[in-house]
């Protein structure tokens, strides 16, 4: 589903964020991206949905070179990728259902279709009763559920989550991890950058560890830290 071939990213200021990354992520995988702050995790995720372009190498998503896509193809790419952020990134003046509907409105879906799909998405994350509330009226865990509903509204084949539990307490984090696992079991590929070592150790998924822009470990059923 995604391949990185010899990918490097050097930012304008000369910082090398990624250095010769080779990585193959298969459809349906659940992959944890770990490593210290500044290791290059966010940069790697940004290259997938073309928020940044590689300096060298190629990122291939569903058989297409992301950097070579024409402008008209980019919205289509982004619709196939759901994004979840540490700080939720909800629109504070908009109600829960509007936050989720917004991701559909920009794609030109009909009002009728929105009225059908938004409640479905809210039900999936267990927030069907909170559609009319504002983000500030919700707990952190509930706000992140809204973020997940928004990310999933276009039925993406890939969900990329950058520290999705970073602002949440342990119990809430585990509830959200259960939701992410359900989403994965229904077929969505998940890439999750995280510092939550307890979650990584317990779930025994594929772990890709970055350090100074390089992959230093890629292990099926791996833990947060290297065993050796």
Q: Is 17 in the site for ligand ADP (CB under 6 A)?
A: yes
Dist CA 70 CA 217 (whole Å): 34
113-117 contacts at long range (C-beta below 8 A, 24 or more positions apart): 117/153
Phi, psi dihedrals of residue 29, rounded to the nearest 5°? -70, 155
Contact residue for ligand ADP among 2, 4, 42, 215 (CB under 6 A): 42
Q: Using DSSP bridges, classify how beta strands 189-193 and 158-162 pair: parallel, antiparallel or unpaired.
A: parallel
- The answer for residues whose C-beta is within 8 angstroms of residue 96's C-beta and 6 or more apart is 122, 127, 130, 131, 132, 133, 134, 135, 138, 146
Q: Is 197 in the site for ligand ADP (CB under 6 A)?
A: no
Dist CA 47 CA 59 (whole Å): 7
Q: Is 180 in the site for ligand ADP (CB under 6 A)?
A: no
For ligand ADP, the closer CB: 39 or 66: 39
Q: Is 114 in the site for ligand ADP (CB under 6 A)?
A: yes
Contact residue for ligand ADP among 2, 4, 19, 40 (CB under 6 A): 40
- The answer for residues whose C-beta is within 8 angstroms of residue 136's C-beta and 6 or more apart is 92
For ligand ADP, the closer CB: 63 or 166: 166
For ligand ADP, the closer CB: 73 or 105: 105
Least distance from ligand ADP to the Cβ atom of residue 131, Å: 4
Q: Is 119 in the site for ligand ADP (CB under 6 A)?
A: yes
For ligand ADP, the closer CB: 119 or 141: 119
For ligand ADP, the closer CB: 41 or 50: 41
What's the token pair of residue 122?
């809210």
- Count other C-beta atoms under 10 Å from residue 97's C-beta: 22
For residues 222 and 46, is the Cβ–Cβ distance under 8 A? Answer: no
Pick the stretch among 12-20, 54-62, 142-150, 219-227 that binds ligand ADP (CB under 6 A): 12-20
Dist CA 89 CA 85 (whole Å): 7
Contact residue for ligand ADP among 79, 94, 95, 195 (CB under 6 A): 95
Contact residue for ligand ADP among 25, 84, 131, 158 (CB under 6 A): 131
Least distance from ligand ADP to the Cβ atom of residue 18, Å: 8
Contacting positions for ligand ADP (CB under 6 A): 11, 13, 15, 17, 35, 37-43, 95, 97, 101, 114-115, 118-119, 131-132
């Amino acid at each position: 589903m995604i391949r990185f071939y010899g990918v490097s990213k050097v930012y304008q200021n000369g910082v090398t964020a990624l250095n010769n990354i080779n990585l193959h992520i298969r459809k349906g995988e659940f992959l944890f991206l770990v490593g210290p702050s500044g290791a290059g995790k966010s940069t790697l995720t940004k290259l997938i949905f073309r928020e940044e372009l590689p300096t060298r190498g190629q990122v291939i998503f569903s058989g297409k070179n992301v950097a070579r896509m024409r402008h008209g193809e980019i919205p289509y790419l982004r619709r196939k990728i759901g994004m979840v952020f540490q700080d939720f990134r909800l629109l504070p003046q908009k109600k829960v259902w509007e936050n989720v509907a917004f991701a559909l409105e920009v794609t030109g879906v009909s009002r009728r279709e929105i009225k059908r799909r938004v409640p479905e998405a809210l039900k999936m994350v267990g927030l069907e009763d909170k559609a009319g509330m504002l983000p500030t009226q919700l707990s952190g865990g509930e706000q992140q559920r809204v973020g997940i509903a928004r990310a999933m509204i276009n039925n993406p084949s890939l969900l990329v989550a950058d520290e999705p539990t970073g602002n949440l307490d342990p119990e809430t984090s585990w509830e959200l991890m259960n939701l992410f696992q359900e989403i994965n079991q229904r077929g969505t590929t998940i890439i999750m950058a995280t510092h939550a070592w307890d979650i990584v150790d317990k779930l025994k998924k594929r772990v890709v560890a970055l350090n100074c822009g390089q992959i230093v470990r890629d292990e099926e059923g791996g833990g947060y830290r290297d065993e050796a």
